Every structure is written in structure tokens, then in C-alpha cells.
């Protein structure tokens, strides 16, 4: 999942730090120039989002004022992730 800071703020940085407190320092992400931090997750996108929202709510119930959650492929404005249609394979005869 990708977290995006809605504005450069120490509050967003502090929330991200607390969210990653269980990770080793080398694994922790920061908000970069793009204001996005990619978090590793072994869950399906909907489950990952729910898990992160729950954890963020426990850290700061107003986290939505400074942080947005996006799917990994949707880091650019206007880009959304959609499942791809199944590709039909044509057999050569």
C-alpha cells in the first residue's frame, strides 16, 4: 500500500513513524519528495487498506487530515487500479 502525505507536516511524519514502529529501521519508509511512502504488505489490497486504516485510527483518529491511502499502482492523480480483463489466447492451427 502507498501512503501519501497530503501536506508536508511533522504530524504526518510522526504518524508514519508510529505505524512502522514494529519494523527494523532499515525497512522503514519516509515520505519522499513525491510525498508517498510505499509500505510492504502481504494482504490483498482491500484487507491491507482495512488493516492500515485500523492501525492509523489507533495512532491518531484524525489521520485523514494529513494522510491518504492509495493502492500501489495509483500513485499518480487520476490513476486507479482495476482488475484486468482475462486475455483470450488464440490457438494457432
Name the residue ranges covered by the structural domains of the chain: 2-70
**Cα–Cα distance for residue pair 80/78, rounded to 1 Å:** 6
pLDDT of residue 78: 46
The tens digit of pLDDT for each residue in 3-37 reads 999 888 899 999 999 999 988 888 888 887 667 88
pTM confidence score: 0.69
The tens digit of pLDDT for each residue in 24-75 reads 888 888 887 667 888 877 778 788 889 999 999 999 999 999 999 987 665 4
Amino acid at each position: 500500500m502507498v501512503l501519501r502525505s497530503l501536506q508536508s507536516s511533522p504530524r504526518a511524519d510522526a504518524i508514519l513513524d508510529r505505524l512502522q514502529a514494529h519494523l527494523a529501521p532499515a525497512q522503514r519508509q519516509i515520505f519522499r519528495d513525491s510525498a508517498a511512502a510505499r509500505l510492504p504488505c502481504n494482504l490483498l489490497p482491500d484487507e491491507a487498506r482495512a488493516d492500515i486504516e485500523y492501525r492509523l485510527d489507533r495512532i491518531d483518529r484524525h489521520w485523514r487530515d494529513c494522510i491518504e491511502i492509495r493502492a500501489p499502482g495509483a500513485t499518480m492523480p487520476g490513476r486507479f487500479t482495476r482488475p484486468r480483463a482475462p486475455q483470450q489466447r488464440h490457438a494457432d492451427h
